[in-house]
Every structure is written in structure tokens, then in C-alpha cells.
Chain A
């Protein structure tokens, strides 16, 4: 009973995207709808891969699932297996110790294998650079379609990047 009360009291907290990005979202949104209808039957499935991140980007990827951003309403779902995934959301830098696992995950993903690199480290290795242990950005290991810079990128930036990646196909 208390649970129901709390649910009703909270109401729907999902927000419309802030005005500064609303226009951009509207533009991509139209393309997105078209692209998802054509290629993904209105549902985009994502496999997230941490290829060496500090866990900061993961927090923000979690956040796009929270009730305020609620990415499910855009038809975005996260899956446990790369075999069901349309898109890989990869955080970096790619460590030497994760390189093989990342390649295998990529190989296990069916086409179209859209790859989105998240965060400054996913783009170019960030503060960790390229060393004996860090290979640098995601594109050093697997083909990358879109990059989302930021340390970490905000949930809005991640949503924008995903929309951009779908629009790019």
C-alpha cells in the first residue's frame, strides 16, 4: 500500500529535454523515428561495454535509464548479450587487458554493429593516453561510428550522441 502511495505521490517525473537541446533533438528525432522504423522495428537495443573506463561514464549511462531521462520512451533498451544488440556503447580507454574481450564482443554483435565511443577516454584515451597498458580511443581497436566527448558526458549528451549515431545510418 505504501508503495502505491509513493508511486502516486511521485507521479511521472520524466522530463521533456531542456530547451537548449530541444531543437536539435527535434531535428534528429524525425530522422530517428524514420531510421528506427526502417531498421530497428521501433526498438533499438544497446550493449554497453566498459573497455577500461574509470566508471564515471557508466554512472551517466545508468542515469539515462533513470526515471528523469527515461530513455526507454525513445525505444532504447539495454541488453545483456551482444548477440541481440544493434549498437555497442563503448567506454574507454581500451586497456591492453580488455582488447581481446572488446574484439570478441564486437565479433559477436550482428550487423549493423553501430559503435558509439563514450567519453574523452573513449575518443582518444583521455588523461590515460597511449601507454603499455592503455591503447587509447575505441577506434584503435574496432571501427567507430560516433564519438561523444565529455568527462563524463552528461546524460543529455549521451542521448544526443545515440540519436546522432542512428541518424548517421
Chain B
């Protein structure tokens, strides 16, 4: 029996019910009495579990009130705890005191679903702006998403710092470069950052609500546009959650190709990031070299898969495009050249002392804090956490090929660059193995439609880190709820911590080394 399930059973006993149509079977799912939500969190904290996500669903189509869910992770295990809230009394006890990332999850739930976490230290809305009507809760079923919302008067109160020489710097939402919008509020003394407060939500497009208006098939297209730079991983996570509900057997060849797309997406984004980080340390040479290598990969994607970012190539049941021997050879020779050139550039990175001066000891996220905020992905691995779904929850072919996961402990900009460098090399190896062992057969199967009132979960290691989807079907087998948790939902908290004590001019460098998604966070 699993560690997490054991911990729940010993803390709550038979009041925890492990039943219902929740998939995949490897993920434990239990419903506990409302008052025991905090006890479950306490038990999870004791086992050293991490909080993966916390969310809510309006279950009125199934004749229930709201469901509130918390998903925990320990090693390879995932466990979801659910409580039910009546519609006329939607309150529950906050778990923010136990798990830091719940701080934003719960603000978001309160803002968009209107369920109230009692004991939460911060009643300010999140993603919902001050000019939304107070009672606009878009994720409730009673909310009509097609009607434009009026603007009301309101004010958002930022955290203040006062004292001699303390000043504020507001930045954004429109930033200086070609990047996504968000607002940062710094308090600084001289050049030193005393505090950074992020204010996100500018690119809230109503994605989670939009899912509920789409068919299961269309859903994978929308998932591919949650965060454009991670289109493969998001589509894949959505499809895997759906396939777990329908019991679809994805053909082997499709799984291999999915892994191929995922690794190509990882390499392309890492190349872009390494170049952009160096550029923010005024080393433009690397940006142009890396963006050239990236462009070559994108063109290959376009040539063989019909899209530069492989959007919509992962579909429910498999993939929509196959590869021939010509494509395989092209990719192998492309990667051989890529590795040679990449290694040459890494040497230049290593030997440039003025660059080293900027990236070392800058923007440190200490391992204790990374654990506290339940960081995932590159950010976690640069701060000592050995977390990678490809290692802990592998789907074929990762279980056969294996993944060498780089883990560093310094947590500075350089560590985040170096995790990327090692992952590029590892992904090249993985792709070579994928192509060598690619099985024959079809590339898609019929996905089917889920049963009513069921749920499906998936976790996929995108290039930023673990992406989580949770799908719930309604009484007619339609999409009742689609919860999306991009790595950015937790890792943004890490940036606020990492910049403390650094100088303001190093902020772009720190920010770029995290490179979190705004769109994936704001939804």
C-alpha cells in the first residue's frame, strides 16, 4: 500500500472514502468530511509530501454542491483529497498554513469560484481584477461566460514598505521587451531589492471556463494554446488525462512520437532560454548563436511535422502525423550537428569570466525555500529537488530509455542555465534512442468518450516542469471541469523569493532564468 494512502487512513480512518470513477487507478482519490480537509493536509505535511495543486469544481449538474480538491505528491505517488461544500455555505478551512503554494491557489479559487478558505491570510483577489463585479465567479455553472462584464470601481492594495530611503518601482504590465504582460512592484533601498510583489492575471482569457463549452476533441486544441511555447506538453497532458478516463490504449508508435515531440520542444525552448539569459547579461553573441540553432530545429519541425511548434500534432488517442525513414535520418544528422555546435558554445559560456560574474550567486533560490513553495521543473532541479515526471511517472518509451535527471543545489542563475544545458544533451540522447527503437504500427486509436461523473488526472514533464491536468465529466459525459496547473502556478512564487537582496538591474536576468509563463498561470 502506498505511503500517502496509509497516512490518510491513519489520520482520518474510515471516514476517508476511496471510491468513485477516478482515473488512472494509480492515482489515489479519496473524499473526506469537510472538517477533515485540514487534517488530511497535516498528515500529508508529516509525510513530507508536496502540494501539487488545489482547485474547486462546481458539481451542481451532478446534484452536488462544490468540490474542493487538493493533490499531493510524494515520489512517484499522487493522491487527491476531495471535500464537498454545500452551495449555500461554500466555506472550508484554508491549508495555506501547511502548504505555501495554497496561498495563491486558494486566492484564485475564492476569486473565480466563490468558495471561501477560512483562515487564509490574504483576502485580496487573484487573477480577478479590482474592476470586476464582486459577485462575478466565472467558474460557477450559473455564470454566463458569453456576457461581457461591466467595470466597477475598486482598488488593489500592494504590500507597502516604509522607511528612510525606501522607494517603489512599478513595472508593467507592458514590459520593455517582446514578452508577456504582468506587473511587478519593487520596494528598494538604493539598488537592493527589499521586496518584490507580483501582480498577474493580465492575460486571463477564461481558458478553464472555455473548456466547458468545447467537445473533448476540441479540448486538446485549446490545451495546446494554454501556453504557446509548451503546446506539445499541454496537449499531451490533456490527452493523457482524457485517455485515462476512456481507457484508450494509445498505440506504441504514437507514444514514441509523443516523446519525440516533447523532447524536441524541450531542446528548442532551452536553446532559446540559454541565449536569452546570456543576452540579459549583455552577452548578445550567445543569443544569436542559440537562436540560430533553435531556428534550425523549428524548420525541421515544419518540414516533417507540418508545424514549427508541432501544435495540434498530439490528439486524443495518439498523434496526427507520422515520420518516415527520410525524416528519421534528417533528425539524427541534425542532432549530431546540433550537439557539436552546442558543446562549442557551452565552452564559450564556461570560459567567459565577465558572464560568470553576472550569473553566479545571482538570484539564489535556496533548496529549503524551493521545497517550501513546492517548486517543480528546472527551478526545482536547480535548487536540489530531484523531481521529474519522466523519471518518477514515466510513460513509454521513457520507462525503457530512462532519463538522467540533472540536479544542482546552488539555485542561482548559473544553476538554472546548467540544468538546461545538461537537459539539452540528455534530450538529444533520448531522441536518438526514440528513433532507434521506434515501433511500427498505427499512430492513433479511437479515444472514446468518458463515462458520466468521472475524473481523470495526468502529470507530464514539459520543458518548464510538471504540467497537471484534471478533467471531470458531467452527467451526460461532457466536460464539466478542466483544471490546468502549469509549472508557473507554483514557480512564480520562487522568483519573488530569489530576487530578495539582489540588485534591481539583475532582475531581468533572474526573471529570464526562471522564464515562467504568464499565459499558463493566468489561464
Residues of A that sit less than 8 Å from B by CB: 2-3, 6-7, 10, 13, 48-63, 65-68, 78, 80-82, 93, 95-98, 101, 105, 126-135, 151-152, 154
Contacts and interface: CB of A to CB of B under 8 A. Distances in A.
B147 A68 contact: no
Identify the interface centre among A82, A105, A151: most chain B CB within 10 Å of its CB: A151
A6 B289 contact: yes
A160 B100 CA distance: 48
A55 B229 contact: yes
B250 to A, nearest CB: 24
12 contacts: A50-B181, A54-B227, A58-B180, A66-B291, A66-B294, A95-B203, A97-B201, A127-B210, A127-B221, A132-B143, A134-B206, A152-B309
Nearest to A58: B178
**Chain A binding surface, main DSSP class:** mixed
A132 B206 contact: yes
Contacts, number: 149
Contacts of A67: 288, 291-292
A49 B203 contact: no
Given A10-B292, A66-B292, A132-B145, A127 B180 contact: no
A126 B298 CA distance: 23
Contacts of B201: 97
A6 B228 contact: no
Given A55-B180, A56-B309, A127-B221, 16 more contacts: A2-B348, A2-B351, A53-B180, A53-B203, A53-B519, A54-B228, A57-B228, A63-B295, A67-B291, A93-B205, A96-B129, A96-B149, A97-B203, A132-B206, A134-B206, A135-B148
Contact of A101 (B147, B178, B202, B302): B202
Contacts of B308: 60, 154
Contact of B345 (A6, A48, A65, A105): A6
Given A48-B178, A53-B228, A6 B344 contact: yes
A127 B222 contact: yes
B173 A101 contact: yes
A62 B229 contact: no
Given A66-B288, A78-B178, A128-B207, A59 B228 contact: yes
Contact of B205 (A3, A133, A152): A133
A95 to B, nearest CB: 6
Given A10-B292, A131-B146, A132-B149, A62 B178 contact: yes
Which 9 A/B pairs are nearest by Cβ-Cβ distance?
Answer: A56-B228, A133-B206, A80-B176, A54-B228, A66-B291, A55-B228, A54-B225, A128-B205, A131-B145
Contacts of B148: 96, 132, 135
Interface in B172-215: 173-174, 176-181, 201-207, 209-210
A3 B519 contact: no
Interface residues of B, number: 57
Contacts of A105: 174
Interface in B217-270: 221-222, 225-229, 231
A60 B288 CA distance: 15
Nearest to B143: A132
A133 B180 CA distance: 17
A55 B517 contact: yes
Nearest to B182: A50
Nearest to B176: A80
Contact of A50 (B149, B179, B207, B231): B179
Given A50-B181, A63-B298, A128-B210, A98 B202 contact: yes
B136, B205, B210, B351 interface centre (most CB from chain A within 10 Å)? B205
B247 to A, nearest CB: 28
B285 interface: yes
B138 interface: yes
A7 to B, nearest CB: 7
A61 to B, nearest CB: 5
A131 B180 contact: no
Contact of A132 (B136, B203, B226): B136
A36 to B, nearest CB: 21
Contacts of B348: 2-3, 6
A8 to B, nearest CB: 12
Nearest to B144: A132
A95 B228 contact: no
B304 to A, nearest CB: 16
A52 to B, nearest CB: 5
B205 A134 contact: yes
A68 B345 CA distance: 18
A58 B272 CA distance: 12
Interface string B120-145: 00000000010000001010000101
Contacts of B347: 2
A12 to B, nearest CB: 11
Contacts of A6: 285, 289, 344-345, 348
A85 B360 CA distance: 36
Contacts of B345: 6
Contacts of B483: none
A138 B147 CA distance: 19
Nearest to B200: A97
B342 to A, nearest CB: 12
Contact of A3 (B173, B222, B285): B285
Contacts of B136: 132
Contact of B311 (A13, A48, A132, A151): A151
Given A2-B348, A59-B228, A13 B173 contact: no
A59 B209 contact: no
B87 to A, nearest CB: 21
Contacts of B179: 50, 58
A6 B292 CA distance: 13
B204 to A, nearest CB: 5
Nearest to B351: A2
Contacts of B457: none
Given A3-B348, A58-B179, A98-B173, A133 B295 contact: no
